[in-house]
Structure 1
């Protein structure tokens, strides 16, 4: 039996719902665990020992605990923002302007925020449009740890 995808998707987050300058604080936060914190660094053979050597940062200005791999932090922020920004996405078009502003350690909790940078309609009223989002993540102590832009192709209500 075919699935009616519109019945399982939220009522908000269509192309028409976004406008430049719109800001969102996303409802969920997540604590970075051991596996997602250092696993990706090992998978891509990142040789920075600060990700996987328990004693490497002892006495460092970055703190005494291992650092979370930056792209894991970016992925976490984008994931936390996805319910509000990508539920009706057709395709992820790209990431840009990634900035890692402060260290993230295992056990830190991250929350996500978004601002809509631009909204570009498709070639006609039924085609999906491109929305560029600026996402940022903040640690539980209020420090911004990550910023980045994400371009997404988003369905229209009528398509």
Structure 2
């Protein structure tokens, strides 16, 4: 029988992160129009900029804008395999900045910087604070935000 720890990465426990580390995450994700419109609708966001193509052709952008909630979710998701696969708990998401518009069809990539590591109030985990960056296919920064995660300690959770 396969142990749960063998299904996750071996280099993303609390002990593996040091302040100043920068990670370039391997995957990119193209934002599909269906994802944008669906999330905009289920969150009851009524801004025409996200789903009214006709109106947006006369805007300064000339096309529909992506919903910031999707941008945030995609960048955090792209970073999660490397930064939160061994998470015990998400502790915070702060200082969110949407730096440039994202359009339907843009492709997002993610980078993460380790800002801080510290002991937690429990022996099996430690706290890591990351700054995540999202860039589009033109390497333009579209998102910045900080995320704090309680991560497993290898000493308590890794397969022996």
TM bucket normalised to smaller: over 0.9
| Matching residue within 135, 140, 154 for 1:138 | 135
Greater helix proportion: 2
Q: Deviations over 1:40-63 (max 9, x none)?
A: 1111111211011111221322x2
Please state whether the residue corresponding to 2:53 is helix, strand or coil: coil
1:38, distance to aligned residue in structure 2 (A): 2.1
Partner of 1:60: 59
Matched, 1:128 2:155: no
Q: Could you tell me whether the CA contact under 8 Å between 1:55 and 1:64 is conserved in 2?
A: no
1:117-144 Cα deviation digits (max 9, x unpaired): 11111246x3311111100100101111
Of 99-108 and 114-123, the range deviating more from structure 2: 114-123
Given the alignment of the two structures, is residue 94 of structure 1 paired with residue 100 of structure 2, yes or no?
no
SS of residue matched to 2:104: coil
Ranges in structure 1 where 5+ consecutive residues have no aligned partner: none
- TM-superposed deviation, 1:69: 0.7
Q: Distance in 1 between matches of 2:54 and 2:91?
A: 39
Of the three residues 81, 85, 92, the one matched with 2:83 is: 85
Cα distance between partner residues in 2 of 1:114 and 1:49 = 32
Q: Does 1:73 align with 2:54?
A: no
The RMSD of aligned alpha carbons is: 1.3
Q: TM-score by structure 1 length?
A: 0.93
Q: Which runs of 5+ in 2 are unaligned?
A: none
Instruction: Count matched residues.
Output: 156
SS of 1:158's equivalent?
A: helix
For 1:47 and 1:36, locate their aligned partners in 2 and report how far apart those are by CA, in whole Å. Answer: 16
Distance, in Å, in 2 between the alignment partners of 1:64 and 1:32 is: 18
* 1:37 CA drift (Å): 1.5
Misfit runs of 4+, over 3 Å:
none
Aligned to 1:27: 26
